[in-house]
């Protein structure tokens, strides 16, 4: 591998960035990590540190420029952080491969993204900016099933389905308060199978090693919020649907002007085929890219992303899935209240690949309104989807999180 000894800047040193930093080290790279939290776990493995908020593109680019004077930086990427503008600012300042500022602007703004996609022939739901609750009421009279969301947030924060009984003014405020730029949009809610995708883009083409059936069994429990409860790999798709997803992601890449890199997608298989809800020009969070995809497919997805960030040419065949093992991921959702007891016993569970409980005694479990509210997660493998799911159930049955409800949340 010709990359040994090169230096990559990884933006974010959060827990989910750790496996990505580890992969870069394993490829023989020197790693610079940037994060606003000086105690971020990723710094422990870093050869160079930049203390700057991952959202602070100016400061990150400035400090990266300074570091580059002393230690040449060869590539930049984000790990488990949705900060395309920061990656792009560093890439521009240091003249690195990375994504362009223009591409980053498109993916950082759901209105601009959908506008760009619809004029490039990428299938997207009907959408409109919403200026007021009254405007939303009017749209709702014309369209039957709408979802409202901030134009520039993430993790399902402020994403509200306008189901029967939802107060329109409240839903508008909920989306608005989660938008840094105070802009919200409505979209037609597309019924259909929800798929997470993670693709590798090169000048030679597109492959999508990450294809997961997102689990929305608890959609009604958490309504009107849209909370995903993990996913199952491999996704159950026809060959035609797979080909169509690659074709659409190829169009997405052209529409945003990306020649190589990785794209994470939220896709719904609607009545007329796959429809793009949104994409992100970065690696996925939730250990999808670093654990779930490799466990299921054998693909070194993170390795591919690192090589592309360094401007290396890669052969798509080296990253094509070589297996399709069943992998199941599920989250832990205790009822709201104060955590009084947490017990995670040692388990002899061969199929258990990962178990994390994020809450501890004394923590407050809030009402689940977005993905960061989740209290833990597990990943299991199996010969069949049912087997992997049964293993998750066995694992969660042994994890105890006692919550005292009724305490003001």
State which of residues 266, 312, 349, 363 lies at the interface with Mg ion (CB under 5 A): 266
Closest C-alpha to 149, from 110, 194, 195? 110
State which of residues 6, 30, 114, 154 lies at the interface with ligand ADP (CB under 6 A): 154
Q: What are phi and psi of 166, to 5 degrees?
A: -75, 130
Between CA 6 and CA 73 the distance in angstroms is 7
Q: Using the rule CB under 6 A, is 266 a contact of ligand ADP? A: yes
Nearest residue (CB) to Mg ion, 107 versus 395: 107
Taking CB within 5 to 8 Å according to partner kind, which of ligand ADP, Mg ion, none is near residue 282?
Answer: none
Closest C-alpha to 150, from 117, 173, 168? 173
- Residue 230 gets the label, from left (phi > 0), alpha (psi -120 to 50) or beta, of left
Rg of the Cα atoms in the chain: 21
| 8, 22 contact by CB (below 8 A) | no
State which of residues 40, 90, 113, 159 lies at the interface with ligand ADP (CB under 6 A): 159
Task: Say which DSSP state 121 is in.
Answer: T
Instruction: Give kind and range of the element (H or E) at residue 210.
Output: strand 205-214
Between CA 150 and CA 157 the distance in angstroms is 8
Count of residues interacting with ligand ADP (CB under 6 A):
19
Contact window for ligand ADP (CB under 6 A) among 8-16, 187-195, 241-249, 358-366: 187-195
Q: Using the rule CB under 6 A, is 198 a contact of ligand ADP? A: no
Contact window for Mg ion (CB under 5 A) among 130-138, 215-223, 265-273, 366-374: 265-273
Instruction: Give kind and range of the element (H or E) at residue 403.
Output: strand 400-404
Nearest residue (CB) to ligand ADP, 94 versus 293: 293
Residue 156 CB, nearest approach to Mg ion (Å): 7
Interface residues for ligand ADP in 91-150 (CB under 6 A)? 125, 147, 149
Between CA 385 and CA 301 the distance in angstroms is 22
Stretch 210-249: interaction string toward ligand ADP, x if CB under 6 A? ----------------x-----------------------
Tell me which residues touch Mg ion (CB under 5 A). 266
Tell me which residues touch ligand ADP (CB under 6 A). 125, 147, 149, 153-157, 159, 187-190, 194, 226, 266, 268, 277-278
């Amino acid at each position: 591998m010709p990359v040994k000894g090169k230096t990559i800047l990884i933006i974010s040193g959060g827990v989910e960035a750790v496996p990505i930093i580890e992969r870069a080290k394993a490829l023989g790279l020197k790693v610079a990590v940037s994060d606003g939290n000086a105690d971020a776990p990723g710094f422990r493995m870093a050869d160079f540190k930049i203390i700057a908020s991952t959202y602070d593109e100016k400061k990150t680019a400035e400090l990266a420029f300074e570091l580059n004077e002393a230690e040449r930086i060869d590539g930049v990427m984000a790990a488990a952080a949705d900060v395309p503008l920061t990656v792009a600012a560093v890439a521009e300042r240091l003249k690195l491969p990375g994504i362009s500022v223009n591409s980053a602007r498109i993916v950082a703004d759901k209105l601009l993204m959908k506008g760009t996609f619809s004029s490039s022939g990428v299938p997207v739901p009907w959408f409109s900016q919403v200026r007021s609750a009254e405007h939303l009421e009017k749209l709702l009279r014309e369209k039957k099933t709408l979802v409202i969301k901030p134009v520039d947030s993430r993790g399902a924060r402020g994403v509200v389905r306008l189901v029967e009984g939802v107060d329109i003014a409240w839903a508008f405020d909920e989306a608005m308060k989660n938008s840094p730029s105070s802009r919200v949009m409505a979209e037609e809610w597309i019924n259909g199978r929800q798929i997470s995708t993670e693709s590798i883009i090169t000048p030679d083409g597109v492959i999508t090693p990450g294809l997961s059936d997102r689990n929305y069994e608890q959609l009604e429990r958490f309504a009107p919020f849209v909370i995903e409860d993990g996913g199952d790999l491999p996704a159950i798709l026809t060959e035609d649907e797979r080909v169509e997803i690659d074709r659409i992601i190829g169009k997405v890449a052209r529409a945003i002007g990306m020649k190589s890199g990785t794209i994470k997608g939220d896709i719904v298989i609607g009545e007329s085929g796959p429809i793009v809800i949104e994409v992100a020009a970065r690696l996925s969070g939730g250990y999808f890219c670093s654990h779930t995809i490799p466990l299921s497919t054998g693909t070194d997805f993170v390795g591919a992303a690192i090589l592309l960030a360094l401007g290396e040419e890669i052969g798509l065949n080296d990253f094509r899935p070589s297996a399709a093992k069943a992998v199941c991921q599920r989250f832990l959702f205790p009822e709201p209240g104060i955590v009084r007891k947490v017990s995670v016993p040692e388990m002899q569970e061969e199929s258990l690949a990962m178990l994390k409980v994020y809450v501890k005694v004394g923590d407050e479990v809030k009402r689940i309104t977005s993905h960061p509210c989740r209290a833990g997660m597990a990943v299991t493998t199996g010969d069949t989807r049912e087997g992997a799911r049964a293993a998750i159930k066995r694992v969660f049955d042994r994890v105890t999180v006692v919550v005292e409800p009724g305490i003001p949340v």
